[in-house]
Amino acid sequence: MKTDRILVTGGTGYIGSHTTVELQNAGFEVVIIDNLSNSNIEVLDGIERITGVRPAFIEGDVTDRNTLIRLFEQHSDIKGIINFAASKAVGESVEKPLLYYRNNLVSLINLLELMPQYGVKGIVFSSSCTVYGEPDQNPIDESAPIKVATSPYGNTKQICEDILRDVATAYGDVKGISLRYFNPIGAHPSALIGELPRGVPQNLVPFVTQTAAGIRECLSVFGDDYPTPDGSCLRDYIDVVDLAKAHVVAITRMVEGKNKQAYEVFNVGTGNGVSVKELLSSFERVNGVKVNHKIAPRRPGDVVAIWADTTLANEELGWRAERTLDETLKSAWEWEKNVRGIK
C-alpha cells in the first residue's frame, strides 16, 4: 500500500481535484496548495465525500517562494509534485502576457529550486497539445515538431517544458514528466466534483452544459467551413478521470524510480478526433436535451484538427483512456444539473 505524500499545486481546480481523488484512491496522501483564484474551497468537501479523506490544504500562491518553504518545512516527506498551478485562458494571456509569464514560469522555477533541498524525487508538469500548433499530420505523436506558440499561454507551456527538461538533464536528483493533454472534458461519475468556470466558460463543454441548463442563451459553433468531414474543428476529447489516472501512473513511475530518462514526455488523449458538431449531437442524444446553437465565423488562432497518437503512453505507462465519449458527456450534464439544482 502506497503511503507516499504528493504535493498537488492547483489541487482545487478542475483537473487538480480529479487527480487528488485518484491519488487518494491509489493510497497516496495528498497536500494541496491553491490560491483559489479560479476555484472554490468547497471542492474539498466533494473530494472528501468521494474518497472519505480530506486532503491537507494550504491556501497560498506557488509564485511565493516563502510560502512554499513553509509548506515543505511543515510537510517534509513529500515524494513527488503534480503541478497544475497556472493561469490558463488563451484570450486573457494575449491581453495580460506578463501575468501569464510570472504565474506560469515562476511557480515552476520555485518548485524546481526547492525540490532537491527537500528530497522530492519527481514532478509531473501539466503541458498541452497547444505546443504542437497546427499539426502536419494526425494523429500526432511526441516526436512531432514544436511550433511557434500562437498565444503567451501556449508559449508558457513550451518554456516550462524546456525549463523542466534542462533542469532534469543538469541535476541528477530532479526527474520530470510532461503530460501533453488534449481536451479534458466531463466530471467525476459521482457528480460531486467537475468543471466550474468562473464567468463565461472558455471551454466548449461547460458552455454546452450551461446552454442546456438555460444559463447561456446560445452556443456559437465557430466555423463550419473547415476542411473536415462536417466542416467543424476536430479535437481529441479526453475524460477528466482518465486524465487524472494518467497523472497517478506518471508520479508513481518517478517515485518508484522506473523512469527511463530524467525527463519524459507523453501525450494524453483518446486517439480519436471528434468534431464540434459530433460532440454537440452526442450530448443531445445521450442526455435527451436540446442545446440552442448557431454557426458563427471562424475564431482566429483555432487549430483545424488535432488528435493524439497515444501509443507511447499506452505501451510505456500502461495507461489508456477507458471512458467513452457518451459516458463523459453524461457525467458533464449530471454535474451541471447537480450544481444548478436541476432535477
Q: Which of 246, 245, 242 is nearest to 327 (CA)?
A: 242
How is residue 54 annotated by DSSP? P
Give the start-end residues of each E strand in the chain. Answer: 5-9, 29-34, 56-59, 78-83, 122-128, 175-181, 183-185, 219-222, 234-235, 237-239, 263-268, 274-275, 293-296
- Catalytic: 237? no
Q: What cell does 242 get?
A: 482518465
Tell me if residue 305 falls in helix, strand or coil.
Answer: strand
Pairing state of beta strands 122-128 and 183-185?
Answer: unpaired
Q: Which of 14, 100, 132, 153 is catalytic?
A: 153
Q: What cell does 5 get?
A: 505524500
CB atoms within 10 A of CB 292: 11
Tell me if residue 255 falls in helix, strand or coil.
Answer: helix
CB-based contact 6:80 (threshold 8 Å): yes
CA distance 143 to 84: 24
How is residue 140 annotated by DSSP? B
* Catalytic residue IDs: 153
